[in-house]
Homo-oligomer: A and B are copies of this chain.
Amino acid sequence: MLIDALQYILPSRAVFLQMREANMSAVHVTVGYHENFLSVVENLQSWNYWFEECGDLISRAMTHSDILAANVAGKTAILFGLQNPLPFSADLARVELLHQLGIRFCQITYNQQSLLGSGCFEPVDSGLTAFGREVVNEMNRVGMIIDLSHAGHKTAMDVVAFSKRPVTVTHANPHKWHRVPRNLNCDLLQAISDTGGMVGFSLYPHHLNQGSRCTLTSFSEMVADMIRCYGTKMFGIGSDLCQDQPDKVVNWMRNGHWRKSPVPSAAFPEPVSWFSDNSDFPGLAIGLRGAGLSEPEISGILGENWITFWEKGFVGVC
C-alpha cells in the first residue's frame, strides 16, 4: 500500500495514469490554500468532474473503506484537504459542512495568522485562539484530521495539548536535519509522539537538507534516525508534490490575495532528481532499504501507517 499524505497536483488524466502505474493506493490532495469558501466549493465541483471523467483511474474517498474499495477496483483513492482554514471563515458550522463535502484534513493555518492560530512565518505566534479551540473540538467531533503543517511552534504545541484526538503534520521534516521555519523541532516531535500523532516527511526541496541537491541517501538516513528516536509507527510520506503546477502558483501560495507585493523570482524549486512526480514514489523504498529499514518499516512509512491512523481518524464521535 502506497500513500502520499500531501500533494498539490494540477489534475489531469496523465497524472492519474501515472498514479496507477506507480500503484498509488491513496493521495491526499489540497483543494484550498487562500481560497474562500465558495472557491473551495468550486474546486470540489471540478474534482467531481475528474471523478466522472477519469473514473477508471481514480475514486473519491471519504472513509477508510472507500480507500480499500478503490484499491480492490484497481483505482487510486483521492482524499481532500485544506491547507488553510479560511473557508471556515468565523463560522463553526462550516467544519461539519465541509466534512460532508469530503474534506478530511485541515491545517490550523497556512504560514500567516488565521482565525485559529499563528503560522510559522507570522512575526508573533500567539498560539491557539478562542475560536481555534472551538474548531479543534469540532474537527475532533466530526472526524476531520488536524494538520499542523505551516503552523507556528507555539500554536502547534497548543493544538497537540488541547486536541482530544491525535494530530498530524502531513508534510514537514525535523529541524535536526534541516532548520527552517517550516520544519519541526524536537519538542513538537516529542509531543506528537506522546499523543499518538503522525508526521509525513516532505520532499519539497525547501524542506530538505541541501535543497534540490539533497540525496535519497541523506533523506533516508534522516528517516531512519527519526524512527530510532520515535518509533516506526509515527511516520509516513507527505511529499508536497506540486506536479504540473505552473510557476505562477508559487506567487499564489505565498501571497494569496492578502498582499500586493509579488515575491521576487517566485518559481518552484528544482525537484530532487529522485522525486519529481508520482512515478518516483515506489522508488523511495530503495533508499529506505539502503538506510537499513526493515520491509515492515518501509511498508509502514510508505502507506500502512497512514491507513492505520486514518481508519480511526476519519470516524466522527457524534
Q: Which residue of B lies closest to A34 (CB)?
A: B90
Q: Within 8 Å CB of A113, what residues of B?
A: 113, 115, 126, 129-132
Question: So how many copies of this chain end up in the complex?
Answer: 2
With known contacts A124-B127, A126-B124, A134–B258 Cβ distance under 8 A: yes
Which parts of A88-120 form the interface with B (CB within 8 Å)?
89-93, 112-115, 118
Task: Report the separation of the CA atoms of residues A126 and B127 in the bound assembly, to the nearest whole angstrom.
Answer: 9
- Chain A's interface: helix, strand, loop or mixed, by majority? loop
Known A-B contacts A112-B131, A131-B113; A91 and B122 likewise in contact (beta carbons under 8 Å):
no
- A259, B115: Cα distance in complex, Å: 13
B residues less than 8 Å from A228 (CB atoms): none
Contact of A130 among B112, B127, B134 (CB under 8 A): B112
Interface membership of A66, Cβ < 8 A: no
Bound CA–CA A86/B36 (angstroms)? 12
**In the complex the two chains form, is A134's CB within 8 Å of B91's CB?**
no
Q: Which 9 pairs show the lowest CB-CB distances between chains A and B? A: A126-B126, A113-B129, A91-B257, A124-B126, A134-B259, A90-B258, A131-B258, A112-B130, A36-B89
